[in-house]
Structure 1
Amino acid sequence: MDPLKNTIHIRAKALELGFDRCGFAQARMLDEDARRLEEWLKNGSHGNMGWMENHFDKRVDPTKLVSGAKSIVSVIAGYRFAENEEYDKNHPVPKISKYARGRDYHKLFKNRLKHLFRFTQDLIGDVNGRIFVDSAPVLDRAWGRLAGNGWIGKNSMLMNKTHGSWFFIGEMILDVPFVFDAPETDHCGTCTRCIDACPTDAIVEPQKVDGSKCISYLTIEMKETMPEEFKEQLGEWMFGCDICQDVCPWNQKSEYGSYEDLKPRDQVLYPPDRKWSEITEEEFDDIFEGSAVRRATHKWFVRNAKIAEQNLDIE
């Protein structure tokens, strides 16, 4: 087994499959991330996302997910597209976060990672491992940082000089060694634009986000009556939020994505000729087939749409 040769070939295959970057990290216990996660949970920053408390040991120790794990292969693919920016600039209507305007990346990434995993098995032989696309208790951003795919920004997003934070993450956890990448250094400097721009003050300090106040949490995870104090702060957002990413200087000069399936769909940008809050459940299912927006369900999506329409004075 030649770790250097395997690293070179697998990285090349990942890029051939359409991923924008592929990094390699040594599997180990994430001691510092474990401390931060424990504190975050203890403070109740996960809101009603009780599932975040489950499988704590697996989140911070990859050997609990793959026996004998030696490596994490972290891949990313960008989703910045000119169509989104043109739409946001010219359409003062309730908004869906840009990551959810195209096909749900989970299926797309999973299929590509399956190809990469089979390639790895053919190349090396006896390989035990698993692929993950936000589908198990894996700290994607932590492994992405350790694999050299970026640094953790002040809004807690993984970001790099090429793609800012406009990208999705997936990984393979394997029981074979590679030549590991060095973590990328922090390039946020003294900039605090993401912190200053957050209308709910969810970014309580650099790299620490109170998830229970984040607009993405409020519009996606909160399956209950919206607290009055947050309604006006939602602004135009009815699913997710891009504010802290839109203001980031790195994002404003990042490269555009290449995955066609991640581009915004016309039916998402241009719904039936009436208010979003008036679409039926059947229309919701048709418009958002294969989309991450289905996570909100019709009931709560309509709730969010009504709030955004009120904030925008849409009659």
Structure 2
Amino acid sequence: MLNYDKKTVPTSLGNIELITLRSPDMEVKLTSYGAAIFEINVLDQCVTVQPKDLEDFLKSPFFYGKTIGRTSGRLVLPSYKINDKTYPISSFGGKNVKLHGGKNGFAFQHFQVDSIKVDTNQVSVVFSYLSQDMEEEYPGNLELKVIYTLDLNLGLLIEFVSKSDQDTLCNLTNHAYFNLVTEKETILDHHIVIHADHYLDINEEMIVKSKEKVYDKPFDFNQVSHLGESIKQMLDTPFRGFDHTWIFNRKNNQIEIDEPFSLVKLVVDTSYPSVVIYTHNFPVQHKLNPIKGHGIHSSFTLECQYEPGGIHHDYLHSGILLRNECYEHYILYRFIKKV
């Protein structure tokens, strides 16, 4: 009932491994480059959006499906401090920020495939990568494992396990883009619940300004909310949608997403304290799959993580991983069949 296949694919970036995990009703395609989700199919329907061409997928600045690190979100130039030592920050993805770990972040690295295991209830693959001391200006040699596990109940579990030989920054997530009814080309008819009382307000450069309450604002998703109506309220802002952080007020099943014509709804459970949701607010030049349009509001990310850029703010999680401390976090995407 559970199985997988693995094949080596030549690309302009070198050979990569393409691994497909399968259960009776779900299929997950993964790439070793970026330890990434290439595609998720549930009940024979694709529920993720990504470039149609593998080369475009691997190189895309939109980070489709990639593992993000060492830091998710934006660090702010010129520097940050750990233990009174200052570390420089080089710009990437903006004049005054380093986005998603930088030009040579984990999204653009070749991971090793350590193992693939099938048992009665699940099939899993372990990717690993060694990030060298001062790679992308982060201190310490960081050993990283990213573990994907597909179960028989339409669940995909992502586990991040890492350890560094120096105090460093570590804030890992996944950047898959979801759409439960891709035939519609957009996510505007989706409904969403996020159990969160606060969000992070940002400026035009997406840099955190303050922690604010969600109430009486487009960010209040504590009750079932129409995502399209909420996005509409953001169209006249520089963001043209959402690219914001919500801070959870509960420890499990923090996010629920549905669409009237979808076969499944999606529930997200995570050990992280917050999520960044980006609603694909800008177009892409390459062809996407399975949608055929320009990509605007075609999909959304569910980037569970520590609050991004927390090292710059006393009221947020710093994202510091202490020397020889084990970093362990998970994100569980659970698809639930609708009656």
TM-score range normalised by the length of the shorter chain:
under 0.3
Higher strand share: 2
Higher helix share: 1
TM-score, with normalisation over the residues of structure 2?
Answer: 0.23
Which structure has the greater CA radius of gyration? 1
